Amino acid sequence: MESRISRNALRTAALAVLGAVIGMGTANAAPAVSGVSGTLSHGGSVTISGSGFGTRSNYNNTSDSWQGGNFLNFRFKDFEDGQINSHGFYAQKGDSNWSPSASELGINNGGPTNSTKFMKRTYVTGEAGGLSAKVAGGGNQLYTTFKFMMPANTQSGKFFRLYADSPQSNIYLSTGCTNNMVRGYSECTSGSCSGVATEWGTGPTLTANTWHRVEIWADATKNVFSVTVNGTQAWQKSNWLNSSLLMNGHTLDYPNMLDASSRDAACPATGAYNYDDIYADFTQARVELSDSSTWAAAKKKEVQIPTAWSANSITVRVNSGTFSSGQNVYLYVVDSTGVANSQGIPVSIGGVAAPVKTPSAPVQN
């Protein structure tokens, strides 16, 4: 049963206390939330009022006009429609449209908790290809997150790839076979990328047969490339990016995968990469739900689907994800610099929100 959150249920959150000095001696004030209204159940529309959200393009998501093409404005795909080629994603192989069999790249029943469908890319000897999204005019930043799972003894391969024009070229992340930590490589050839090589993350390990949330942030303006697994940073690199990401055309792959049985002789030529809830955007600015009352401790999170965004108001389509009806959770607004309200706004999936708590110092994402 759906309930509604009253516009008056949440009141007057103060601007965050300035945090520690950041960068050139400035500090970012955390976004301040003063109200939440709408249906906080999966697919419902929620409007968040407050200040310090920043501005960005209107996504026109009500009519889903952005779904008609391959080019990225922002993308979210949970596979609940049972389709591979939809919501701006398409199957590709060798930079061309691809019509895979369901056993190669298909939609399966199940997924993370509360999901009914997910995408499965099965290992096939000698074949590269996967799910892609094209990019045009993407600028120099990219944020993407997705749910990821693989069976034990899955042959190693690329579970995410960002491909751009030279000298940025190829960045990819891999895992599987004899080591299930994330590893990655940058093929960037500019001076800012000197000395790059295959590098391993420090954990957490991507446990077999377990769904994990992976987050990736690439910022060419600061030469920052970071990977987070289940809310814990696996690594952050400062020599993987050119001064511009140079994203244009066939760019993002989930995955571009498993292109020869010889990738790791220690593993059988078997396995699969599984995905759900893929989200991609050109900024860190987003809305999240978490079961943690503080952003610093937030590990389990569910990204929300933006439909409109201004400095004082955000509208999202609710993605309850693994949270269940009646569960108490906390709402966070992250701005484009990665700063979030440090204390979450208590709300309930399908229920009534508690009063706003005054947030403390901002927390960097």
pLDDT in the model for residue 59: 59
Residues of the chain with pLDDT under 50: 1-26, 60-68, 354-355, 357-362
pLDDT in the model for residue 292: 97
Residue-wise pLDDT tens digits, 214-245? 999 999 999 999 999 999 999 899 999 999 99
pLDDT in the model for residue 137: 66
pLDDT in the model for residue 11: 32
pLDDT in the model for residue 252: 92
pLDDT in the model for residue 155: 84
Give the chain's domains with CATH numbers: 4-56+286-364 (2.60.40.10), 67-281 (2.60.120.200)
pLDDT in the model for residue 157: 84
pLDDT in the model for residue 3: 35
3-class secondary structure per residue, the chain? CCCEECCCCCCCCCCCCCCCCECCCECCCCCEEEEEEEECCCCCEEEEEEECCCCCCCCCCCCCHHHHCCECCCEEECCCCCCCCCCCCEEEECCEECCCCCCCEEEEECCCCCCCEEEEEECCCCCCCEEEEEECCCCCEEEEEEEEECCCCCCCEEEEEEECCCCCCEEEEEEECCEEEEEEEECCCCHHHCCCCCEECCCCCCCCCCCEEEEEEEECCCCEEEEEECCEEEEEECCCCCCCCCCCEEEEEECECCCCHHHCCCCCCCCEEEEEEEEEECCCCEEEEECCCEHHHCCCEEECEEEEECCCEEEEECCCCCCCCCCEEEEEEECCCCEECCECEEEECCCCCCCCCCCCCCEEC
The pTM assigned to this predicted structure is 0.87
pLDDT in the model for residue 23: 31
